Structure 1
Amino acid sequence: MRVNYFRSPHPLRLSLAAGALTCALALTSCAPTSSNVSVDGENRPVVLTTFTVLADIAANVAGNKLTVESITKVGAEIHGYEPTPGDIRRAAKADLILDNGLGLEAWFEKFVQDLDAPHAVVSDGIEIMEIAEDKYKDLPNPHAWMSPSNVQVYVENMVKAFTKLDPANGTYYQANGAAYKDKLQDVQDQLIRDLSALPTSQRALVSCEGAFSYLARDAGLSERYIWAVNAEQQATPQQITGAIDFVRRNNVPAVFCESTVSAAPMERVVEATDAVFGGTLYVDSLSEPDGPVPTYLDLIRHDAKVITEGLTGVSNGVLP
């Protein structure tokens, strides 16, 4: 059973969305079952992921045997995403769809319920952390990819799914997966080394969303956030006050916010405390190729660097 973190949409909005999806499905009812893309004269099966981070991880496993695409674009907020008719048409032709699971993509179940494309949940088998507070208390924290160790499990699930889709290249996917897992371990080790340099009094990570539980666990940081899940439309006064109290009580030197949400609530925390804004972190989306986090490995390296520099006072971030 999938967990739905999100408020029910407005009835009119839901009706319009349902109509759009119905029309899209009607348009694709006679479409071919596969959208194999021809590249360099080869027909490659298409793997569709729910967001850009998964697409990059999957591409490292797929190599040149599969075409990997993301449903959502760079910079998209994944939690409350609303699929378009174009998304449905693409999905109807995909050979495989990958989703994160753990309730992250609340829209996903309706997205695929009328499609024949097989799908795999890449977070299956990880050690789940639960959300510690707010109205989502005790529900799974879906941001499991923020631990490179967890992503090694993602890779194993992708290898299995790709091998089932394309058995002839199973050994190839296994080799790619093993090589990428080595890179993930290197980044995991570097993350822990970087953040272990923080003094005990500065080992607190305060962010807009509670997206860093797995990273904080790996690095031995305490975690505080304004809201638990980005499904919230805006921060409540109680949530902001709670973050302010935590920062004051623990003398937290710097606070952070994610690239896909407004930093305005965190600006309130900065104004009310002695903390500085330490910088922008990336979680739900990669950047454009010429941006700071064009790949998942870059994302983890970037976040570890920004957190370390922000909490040690090496770099003072600027509120966007």
Structure 2
Amino acid sequence: MTNPSRIRAFTSWRRQLSAALACLALAATLSGCDSPGAISGQDDSDRPVVLTTFTVLADIARNVGGDKITVESITKAGAEIHGYEPTPQDIAKASRAHLILDNGLNLEAWFEQFIVELDVPHVVVSEGVEVMDISEDANAGLPNPHAWMSPVNVQVYVENIRDAFIELDPENREYYTRNATAYNAELETLEKNLVQGLSGLKENERALVTCEGAFSYLARDAGLTEKYIWAVNAEQQATPRQIASAIEFVKDNEVPAVFCESTVSDAPMQQVVQGSGSTYGGTLFVDSLSEADGPVPTYLDLIRHDTDVILQALTGDKP
């Protein structure tokens, strides 16, 4: 049966899209139609403009594109990516880009409608990674979209971005290839440090309990057991059964600390803390970087930060 609310949402979306594109086309001649503004740097250089769906991808892409590509994120720092609602300004900005990079794996629930009427190519940067499936809840059997939480997978992202940039700007093939090779070397070191840092955890410390099931890839790489309240942030209203399941897991395994992500409320996890006698270990970053002056302005910082927070909370060691 067709869902009336989805029909209304799609109709509203089409209206916004049409209005935004009309506004873009006529902004120079019609008063009362706010210009959506140029993409940063587009008027100052001839560099190709690439948009990404969220800030983590933007940082990875900038490491490949260097000063030859202008890279911007559609979503801002701190935004929740799964259920993001694009604005007409987002649509107008995207219509002027040369390329859009998205994660795929059902991460950006909004992206299919976003791209459908834009004459802009896009590349799925997760293509080719070793995908893990979600194992619980209504999303069981679907791919876990958070593949970038493994630096090994991000090396595949980098290769896909490099190839996309070479196709977009073939004259700078060697430049993008050098940048990708150098950044992948950093990712290899990051992965070794992640695994080594978490290798000394005791048996009861080798459990990673979070609000969202966003750490499957990191847990796999580091040999940790993952437990979460809900599988995907698109459905972040915790049920009593989910809370009870997390409490039982923490008690049974004597897990010393639990965590939540920066883009959602930690209130459900605080219920787990109260019910289990565990401690709240801190905030982890997954779907978004911080602002430039925050704790995780880059992807490399994000993985280092999360590794440090997990290690310090589970072992009781001070920074």
TM-score bracket, normalised by the shorter chain, equals over 0.9
Q: Is the 8 A contact 2:41 2:70 kept in 1?
A: no
Q: CA deviation at 1:42?
A: 3.5
Q: CA deviation at 1:15?
A: 3.6
Aligned residue in 2 for 1:17? 13
Q: Is the 8 A contact 1:49 1:70 kept in 2?
A: yes
Say if 1:206 and 1:197 are closer, same or farther in 2 by CA, change over 3 A.
same
1:145-156 equivalence runs, <5 A: 145-156=148-159
Q: Unaligned stretches of 5+ in structure 2?
A: 28-37
Aligned residue in 2 for 1:268? 271
Match of 2:117 among 114, 117, 122: 114
- Percent of residue pairs identical: 63
Letter in 2 for 1:283: V
Aligned residue in 1 for 2:31? none
What is the aligned residue count?
A: 308
What secondary structure sits across from 2:234 in the alignment? coil
**In 2, distance between residues paired with 1:206 and 1:100?**
24
Aligned residue in 2 for 1:48? 51
Letter in 2 for 1:289: A
Q: Is the 8 A contact 1:36 1:44 kept in 2?
A: no
**In 1, distance between residues paired with 2:314 and 2:266?**
18
Q: Is the 8 A contact 1:102 1:142 kept in 2?
A: yes
Counterpart check, 1:169 vs 2:172? yes
**In 2, distance between residues paired with 1:12 and 1:144?**
32
**In 1, distance between residues paired with 2:119 and 2:271?**
47
Aligned residue in 1 for 2:30? none
Letter in 2 for 1:269: V
Letter in 1 for 2:46: N
Aligned residue in 2 for 1:3? none
Q: Is the 8 A contact 1:206 1:256 kept in 2?
A: yes
Q: CA deviation at 1:25?
A: 2.3
1:1-320 equivalence runs, <5 A: 12-28=8-24, 42-315=45-318
What secondary structure sits across from 1:42 in the alignment? coil
Say if 1:9 and 1:250 are closer, same or farther in 2 by CA, change over 3 A.
farther
TM-score, normalisation: structure 2? 0.92
TM-score, normalisation: structure 1? 0.92
Q: Unaligned stretches of 5+ in structure 1?
A: 1-6
**In 1, distance between residues paired with 2:26 and 2:310?**
51
Say if 1:309 and 1:12 are closer, same or farther in 2 by CA, change over 3 A.
same
